[in-house]
Amino acid sequence: MTRGIVTATALAAVTAVAAPVVAVAAPSDAVALASGIATTDAQRVDAAAVVRLDPSPEVLLLSDHDFIHALWQKARDAGEALDAVRTAAEDAMVSSAAEDHARFVTTGVHEAYAIDKQREKDRADADRAGRLAKSQALIAVGIPNSPDLLALSDDNFIRAVMKHTAAGPEVRAAAASALAGDSAAWQEFITNGVREAHRRDVANELKELEESNREEAERRRELAARTNAAALFRVTPSEAMLGLSDDNFIRELLRMTTADAQGTELHAAAQRAVLSPAPADWKQFIHTGAEQAYKLDDEARRKKIADANRRLALKSQAAAEKTGVNPQLVAAAKKALAGTDADVALFLKEESQYQAKRQSLQPVNSKLAGWYIRQSSVDGGEGFVTPVSPKGKPADRADATWVVTPALAGQPGCYSFESVRKRGHYLMEKEFRVRAAADDGSTKFRKSASWCARKGLAGSGVSFESLSLPGRWLRQYTGDLYAADKSGKNRFDAAKDFAQDATWKVSFPLAP
């Protein structure tokens, strides 16, 4: 059966009573934006430099709002590297206040860029810390460091350690247990677990040795403690170094400390120990103190990254709450923030953000409960409404799910609907008919694919006014989608049921 027959048949079967729809908060009425320039060329050149936008004469003549849109496009194309700039630009574009636009150009873009640079540094620090943790693990177990080993992914690194002849039974068992877990379990094994497992292997060996040679067992215990302490400083100790007195061994660790580690608790604890006149303090540092200090540093590093991530997630949540058209993103942010630091980090990834902007659109008309806006590839991408089950075919659910993004044309309070099934295709009007079509990059297309959110014409929900055809609204008529008004000029411009047909509920996505 063709899509037209299916839709017509389904419409005819709709009864007057249907399940009630869940209400969502309606976005406020958009206010017309004054098209002025309240920023200087110098301020714009500085802002453009942040996202590597060419400040051509045409760009410098844009209104402040349109200039922000140009910045947003470059930030969006840059992906995760300019996440905070993109989010802040979206927040500024939603506003209709000229002072908000000027503020973003003059200071906001730079503040957001500072956040992005700090997150980039934090990520680089985390990557470097990961490589260093691998190096420490290898030193502790007695496996020679090599660039190839350090370049392995966490899970493959653990497999390599597990297979190495230097790994004892406890290390192999801990490695297998970590591999059965998630990425957080892998990182914990590399950062701390491998050393702890190796200490258990050493303790087991020494326990057997103590029965025959207590003195040799004590010597090996001391060597193992020193090797572990040296590993925390990323030092592979020589035989001569291992033979130093306790205080001189610590002095040698301090001498070999790299510049980036000199502000750490590990470094400070070593200094306190070596300055102590008590030999017991030297031994305590080597056997337990270094490990304790290292874990404090690791905890502080993780907390710093986690705190920055939570601030960014809260900002993303607040921006989505303002729009009223991204309830899925709001819910995803709240869920992540209520979870672990790893949940927040995952939420902030570019693909997770893109996925969290997925929504489905339902008519508020109670007679059409369970119906959704969808596109049909076999009908040239034409848009229509039809019943779609949350348990239906994945392809049908994907056709009825849209990524709600700031308008391609950049107008505040306006949005574009990208097809989940066909990325890069957006709901746009052409000769009043609404269909999903590929973005050709033209100003005309981007305007025709932009829809401005208004308070629902039916008194609830939200209505979307066409940016390219002001006064015309996204409407379903006999199951098909149009940019329509109620002038009666065309059959789909009928005044009857217009408010109901042009009002929508933004619901959770059928294709999560």
pLDDT of residue 22: 33
Confidence of residue 246 (pLDDT cuts 50, 70, 90): very high
pLDDT of 15 strictly over 70: no
Across residues 490-499, what is the average pLDDT? 96
Please report whether residue 325 resides in a domain: no
Task: Mark residue 210 as left, alpha or beta (left: phi above 0; alpha: psi -120 to 50; beta: remaining).
Answer: alpha
Which residue is listed with tokens 């039809």?
386
Q: Are residues 379 and 503 located together in one domain of the fold? A: yes
Give the C-alpha separation, 72 to 232, whole Å: 43
Alpha helices in 142-212 (DSSP H): 147-150, 154-163, 169-179, 183-188, 194-210
pLDDT of 27 strictly over 50: no
User: What is the C-alpha R_g of the chain?
Assistant: 31
pLDDT of residue 26: 34
pLDDT of residue 400: 96
Q: Are residues 163 and 271 located together in one domain of the fold? A: no
Please report whether residue 255 resides in a domain: yes
Which amino acid makes up residue 31? V
The total of structural domains in the chain comes to: 4
Q: What angle do CA 147, 149, 155 make, to 5 degrees?
A: 140
pLDDT of 210 strictly over 90: no
pLDDT of residue 25: 36
Please report whether residue 307 resides in a domain: no
Give the C-alpha separation, 295 to 51, whole Å: 38
Confidence of residue 129 (pLDDT cuts 50, 70, 90): confident
C-alpha distances (whole Å) from 192 to each of 165, 234, 315, 363, 478 are: 20, 14, 33, 54, 64
Which residues are within 8 A (CB) of 181 and not within 5 positions of it... i.e. 6 or more apart? none
Confidence of residue 32 (pLDDT cuts 50, 70, 90): very low
Confidence of residue 243 (pLDDT cuts 50, 70, 90): very high
Q: What is the CA 237 to chain-centroid distance, rounded?
A: 41
Q: Are residues 384 and 256 located together in one domain of the fold? A: no
Q: What is the pLDDT of residues 151-192, one digit of tens each?
A: 999 999 999 999 999 999 999 999 999 999 988 899 899 999
Across residues 112-126, what is the average pLDDT? 85
HEC assignment per residue over 375-392: EEHHHCCEEEEEECCCCC
pLDDT of 392 strictly over 60: yes
pLDDT of 245 strictly over 80: yes
Give the C-alpha separation, 454 to 324, whole Å: 10
Please report whether residue 377 resides in a domain: yes
Confidence of residue 320 (pLDDT cuts 50, 70, 90): confident
Q: Are residues 186 and 230 located together in one domain of the fold? A: no
Q: Are residues 41 and 169 located together in one domain of the fold? A: no
pLDDT of residue 12: 43
User: Among 72, 101, 129, where does a domain finish?
Assistant: 129
Q: What is the pLDDT of residues 425-468, one digit of tens each?
A: 999 999 999 999 999 989 899 999 999 999 999 999 999 999 99
Across residues 296-307, what is the average pLDDT? 89
Phi, psi at 111, each rounded to 5°: -65, -45
pLDDT of residue 28: 35
User: Among 201, 232, 251, where does a domain finish?
Assistant: 201
Please report whether residue 137 resides in a domain: no
User: Among 129, 160, 184, where does a domain finish?
Assistant: 129
**Bigger pLDDT: 481 vs 131:** 481
Across residues 134-150, what is the average pLDDT? 91
Q: Are residues 58 and 110 located together in one domain of the fold? A: yes
pLDDT of residue 33: 36
Residue 1: give its domain's CATH number. 2.80.10.50
Please report whether residue 337 resides in a domain: no
pLDDT of residue 349: 84
pLDDT of residue 377: 82
Q: Are residues 39 and 8 located together in one domain of the fold? A: no
Q: Are residues 149 and 84 located together in one domain of the fold? A: no
Burial of 296 (0-12, 13-18, 19+ CB in 10 A): middle
Average pLDDT, the chain: 88
pLDDT of residue 437: 95
Phi, psi at 280, each rounded to 5°: -65, -35
pLDDT of residue 305: 85
Q: Are residues 102 and 193 located together in one domain of the fold? A: no
Please report whether residue 302 resides in a domain: no
Q: What is the pLDDT of residues 56-110, one digit of tens each?
A: 999 999 999 889 989 988 998 888 789 889 888 988 887 778 899 999 999 999 9
Q: What is the percent of the chain with per-residue pLDDT over 70, rounded to a whole number?
A: 93
Across residues 482-511, what is the average pLDDT? 95
Q: Which two tokens stand for residue 161?
A: 């350690």
Confidence of residue 411 (pLDDT cuts 50, 70, 90): confident
Pairing of β 402-406 and β 414-419: antiparallel
Q: Which residue segment(s) compose the domain that 117 sits in?
A: 35-129
Q: Are residues 188 and 240 located together in one domain of the fold? A: no
Q: Are residues 249 and 276 located together in one domain of the fold? A: yes
Q: Are residues 362 and 463 located together in one domain of the fold? A: yes
Give the C-alpha separation, 255 to 253, whole Å: 5
Please report whether residue 509 resides in a domain: yes
DSSP of 256-310, one letter per residue?
Answer: T--GGGTTSHHHHHHHHHHH-S-HHHHHHIIIIIHHHHHHHHHHHHHHHHHHHHH
